[in-house]
Amino acid sequence: MTTVDTFEVLSLTDEARNVVMDALNAEDNAETLALFVEVTGTRGAGYAYDLYFSDRSDAPEGAAIGSDGGVTIVVPEKSVSRIRGSRLEFASEGGGGLVLVNPNAPTPEEINPGVPADILALGVTGPLAVLAANVLETSVNPAIASHGGRADLIALDEEKKVAYVKLSGGCQGCAMSRMTLSQGIETSLIEAIPELTGVIDVTDHASGENPFYSNDQ
């Protein structure tokens, strides 16, 4: 287990520290607990986080451990570089809550983990990609907009003729998203572009707002 100066990884504003301390002191075993902060994935153009109390002894090997104003903070090793330099603040808007202000941003590969890096690097400027993006914008998105959904072309393998599509809004996490993709989006794209051999959904449905999705559907 590696202990570092957590101030370099994550600091707390006075308001945020007070909120954390109040919540911590409400726990029966407050004296043994630490605030664990870790990156769980991506959300939009930023990271998604999990903040929770757990026993200091639960800190995993390699975690960054330190304190800020009496609050012991644990950041798992894989999250250290993604969080370093961040600040935990308290935002009073919308009922109030803790907000992590992070100067770091996910890489394109982190945001779109289902797309091969070499294909992602090509962008969506190829002839088939431009055509596919136009089909999504003019034919698909107007049809799924009624339930707040949207489909965007993330990448297109011009050699293998495979399109990588990400759903958002009402389609992200929706139990019907697979049907929407196979019977709506995929059909529309292949009808408009017969050369396409497949359409791959690279949406992170587990982090969507709709609660009906599960990985085993």
Count of all residues that appear for the chain in the document: 217
> For 158-181, what is the mean pLDDT?
66
Report the chain's mean pLDDT, rounded to a whole number: 82
Tens-digit pLDDT profile for residues 139-165: 888 877 776 778 889 999 999 999 998
Query: What mean pLDDT comes out for the span 37-51?
Result: 87
More confident residue, 176 or 49: 49
Report residue 169's pLDDT band, with 50, 70 and 90 as the boundaries. low
Does the structural domain 6-106 have CATH classification 1.10.287.610? no
Q: Residue 43 pLDDT more than 80?
A: no
Show me where the domains of the chain are located.
6-106, 111-207
Tokens describing residue 89: 């603040």
The pLDDT of residue 207: 53
Domain 111-207: which CATH number of 3.90.1010.10, 3.90.1150.10, 3.30.300.130, 1.10.10.10: 3.30.300.130
DSSP string, 156-188: EETTTTEEEEEEEETTTT-TTHHHIIIIIIHHH
